[in-house]
Structure 1
Amino acid sequence: MEPAQPTPDDLDDVLLACRYGDLDDVLAFSARFGDTALTAARDASDNTPAHMAAANGHTELLEFILARTPGLAAARNAAGSTPLHWAALNQHLAAAQRLVATAGAPLIDTKNAAGRTPLGEAELAGWEEGAQWMVGAMTLDGEGKGAEGEEEGEETVSGVDVEVEIQDADGRVARMTLGSDEPAHEVAGSGEAS
């Protein structure tokens, strides 16, 4: 027997439940309507349940959503932003880590319609911890090591500081030192305040 079809009100309700972290309501929605309905739930700006949970740091709920509908980790809204853009903007590290573990490190370098990546959003928000984690999760070949650690055969260097320089779409440059106890962070811009 196929699951019932959700009404527009049911879809609105599940999105609100995701926004406010109501896992019980999302569990009930999923049990009644199935994973396809959870994937199809979108608001007027094309935000998904994963966008709502990630934006508000509801990690347990996000884990449930991604376990059932892993494709939502890389879903884009009308502005081209992924749930990782929202987690970065609102500084939710556990949500960002879960999204990257599900969709892979290339998600960190996904540009939205404004040309910003989740890493760029973290920098613009002044979220050094998240930006540093994202830089550490990335690799030069774009495959990334994700939240699970190094890939098999990957070499590591200990006791050495690594200087990282990243330029955002607006021409601002952020410099970080990885490997030391206290990261150095400076921003050089195009004359604009960041």
Structure 2
Amino acid sequence: MSIPVPSPEDYEEFLLSCRYGDVDDIRQFVDRFGGDALNAARDERGNTALHMVCANGHQDALDFLLPLVSPSLLCSQNDAQSTPLHWAALNQHLAIARTLVEFPEGPGVDLIDIKNTAGRTPLGEAENVGWDEGAKWFVEVMNLDESTGKEDAEADAAVDPSQDIEVEIQDAEGQVARMTLSSRAPEPLSRTADPS
């Protein structure tokens, strides 16, 4: 028995189920059309099922979908080049962002580096909407060191762990976020205009 092919209406209803977090309807779509149909589902703006559940903070739907979809769907970009993580950041869904970044079969922290057409990463989106908690988490988990040379490893070993580490990140709009990473109580994120 062959698996039926979803019609455009089936895809539209499925994506609405994802948008509203209706896990029962999502499950019925999977049972009827199989896992490959999950990866093919897109709306007219290129949004996937993951875009829909992440934008709207539907953790149960995300937990159901992640083991079934291709890991490449985590970094799938819509027409505005935004990923599901961009949408989670834009709508301030920390649990969703964590799930995407920490998914074992996914791209991990590399998701934080993807830019959309506005030139913003998910961190930039978090800063843009004033979501300090999310921006702080992105900075804590992202790859801050782009080189992996022996000298860098030796320099890291020489760092005193009791010293604070100052981090500055500039987004595409010239805004600078400053943060102190330490073993003491966390300090709030401050944002200032770029003086140059």
- Where on the TM-score scale, by shorter chain, does this alignment land: which range? 0.7 to 0.9
Shift in Å, 1:142: 5.2
Deviation per CA, 1:86-117, whole angstroms, max 9, x where unpaired?
00000001110111123210110110111100
Shift in Å, 1:162: 2.2
In structure 1, what is the equivalent of residue 137 of structure 2? 133
Q: Secondary structure at the match of 1:67?
A: coil
In structure 2, what is the equivalent of residue 53 of structure 1? 53
Shift in Å, 1:139: 2.2
In structure 2, what is the equivalent of residue 107 of structure 1? 111
User: Any conservation in 2 of the 1:175–1:184 contact (CA below 8 Å)?
Assistant: no
Gap runs ≥5 in structure 2: 148-155
**Distance change in 2, residues 1:165/1:190 (3 Å):** closer
> Is 32-41 or 134-143 further displaced after alignment?
134-143
In structure 2, what is the equivalent of residue 93 of structure 1? 94
**Distance change in 2, residues 1:130/1:3 (3 Å):** same
In structure 1, what is the equivalent of residue 190 of structure 2? 186
Shift in Å, 1:158: 5.1
Deviation per CA, 1:140-177, whole angstroms, max 9, x where unpaired?
3459xxxxxxxxxx979754432211000011111112
User: Any conservation in 2 of the 1:105–1:142 contact (CA below 8 Å)?
Assistant: no
Equivalent position amino acid for 1:24 in 2: D
Q: Among 164, 169, 173, which residue is 2:167 paired with?
A: 164
Q: Secondary structure at the match of 1:84?
A: helix
In structure 2, what is the equivalent of residue 80 of structure 1? 81
User: Any conservation in 2 of the 1:161–1:177 contact (CA below 8 Å)?
Assistant: yes
The 1-side partners of 2:172 and 2:5 are apart by 42
In structure 2, what is the equivalent of residue 31 of structure 1? 31
Q: Secondary structure at the match of 1:72?
A: helix
Q: Secondary structure at the match of 2:53?
A: helix
Matched, 1:123 2:124: no
**Distance change in 2, residues 1:142/1:66 (3 Å):** farther
User: Any conservation in 1 of the 2:136–2:189 contact (CA below 8 Å)?
Assistant: no
Equivalent position amino acid for 1:16 in 2: L
The 1-side partners of 2:185 and 2:13 are apart by 45
Equivalent position amino acid for 2:178 in 1: R
In structure 1, what is the equivalent of residue 9 of structure 2? 9
The 1-side partners of 2:74 and 2:25 are apart by 20
Query: How many positions carry a matched residue from both structures?
Result: 181
| TM-score of the aligned structures, taking structure 2 as reference length | 0.85
In structure 2, what is the equivalent of residue 146 of structure 1? none
The 1-side partners of 2:146 and 2:114 are apart by 11
Equivalent position amino acid for 2:97 in 1: A
Computing the radius of gyration over CA atoms, which structure comes out larger, 1 or 2? 2
The 2-side partners of 1:160 and 1:7 are apart by 59
Q: Secondary structure at the match of 2:89?
A: helix
Q: Secondary structure at the match of 1:57?
A: coil
| TM-score of the aligned structures, taking structure 1 as reference length | 0.86
Among the aligned pairs, what percent are the same residue? Answer: 53
